[in-house]
Structure 1
């Protein structure tokens, strides 16, 4: 179980970093405020990825074989959502962070049932990442995610795609 958690989290944080890089490639020149906002979220995701990379080493976990696909897929999702406009980019963030926040909650629930003191640091790391992902969700909503064209369709497609990616990365 721990291996699956760390494996999928590393892939997810890889995708998150590249989503923001893709969005910045398209939207990063629009306004200084938008560039700062995207850079801030990307930088937090980079810290999360560094934490997961360290957990891969500490727990001796084999990364998912889909790691390169997580990077490319994340970038493509970031670029595509940004090409649809700022509000669609924010819809992407809201959908991803909704799914990931729930995913981290599920992991924490499972970890707290184990009651091993040795897992306290892992629990803290996952909780920190979850809390910051939920901040990104709030930021997306505050920046008009729900005003995007075809909002519900975009939201559900991206959230569903994240669910499939999570399932695959846990196993492969």
Structure 2
């Protein structure tokens, strides 16, 4: 019996584009953090290297399936860079708050994707499962960096979370 990979294909395409966006967020943050939060630069470089590996993983899965990348790929890259540069200018708490907000949404989507695909699309399930631990690390390490009662998380969390949800929603429909 043939398996319909339609949902898995869409999810892998959106995740690939999302990883491109994450690389761009970290690139913008690294550029600005050199001025505003130099103590975070090495961690941001490490996180970006994880996201680069994730993008490569999803890109390989797309190639294996003979599928093109998502039409939102360049939007994710441009939007991610702008978000990263802007929040990087705001300093360490804004950088950490942005990572927590983005990764919180991403982790919820990854868990939902795994539930929807488990038993139906082993290739997609394997690719998604391979990145969850590092995405959790980014979230948790950044959450520990946020100072109690700080301003930026209160402002950025709803904006960044909403924008991340919107990009995922759009990507699933392109």
Same fold (TM over 0.5): yes
| Cα distance in 1 for residues equivalent to 2:37 and 2:92 | 11
Distance 1:45 1:146, change over 3 A: farther
For residues 151 and 65 of structure 1, do their structure 2 counterparts lie closer, same or farther at Cα, with a shift above 3 Å needed? same
Asked whether the 8 Å contact 1:4–1:170 carries over to 2, the reply is: yes
Matched-pair contact (CA < 8 Å) for 1:87–1:147:
no
The answer for unaligned runs of 5 or more in structure 1 is none
Q: Any idea what the Cα deviations from partners look like across 1:89-127, whole Å, max 9, x if unmatched? A: 110000000000001001000011xx24xx334322211
Q: Is the 8 A contact 2:61 2:127 kept in 1?
A: no
Q: Is the 8 A contact 1:29 1:35 kept in 2?
A: no
The residue that corresponds to 1:135 in the other structure is 137
TM-score, structure 1 normalization? 0.90
Count of residues paired in the alignment: 168
| Alignment counterpart, residue 56 of structure 1, candidates 37, 40, 62 | 62
Unaligned runs of 5+ in 2: 1-6
Q: Normalising by structure 2, what TM-score? A: 0.89
Mapping of residues 76-95 of structure 1, within 5 Å: 76-95=82-101
* 1:125 maps to which of 118, 122, 127: 127
**For 2:36 and 2:154, how far apart are their aligned partners in 1?**
25
CA RMSD of aligned residues (A): 1.7
Alpha-carbon distance in structure 1 between the residues aligned to 2:29 and 2:127: 26
Say yes or no: does 1:22 pair with 2:24. no
Asked if 1:10 is matched to 2:12, the reply is no
CA distance in 1 between partners of 2:107 and 2:47 (Å):
15
1:105 is aligned to 2:111: yes
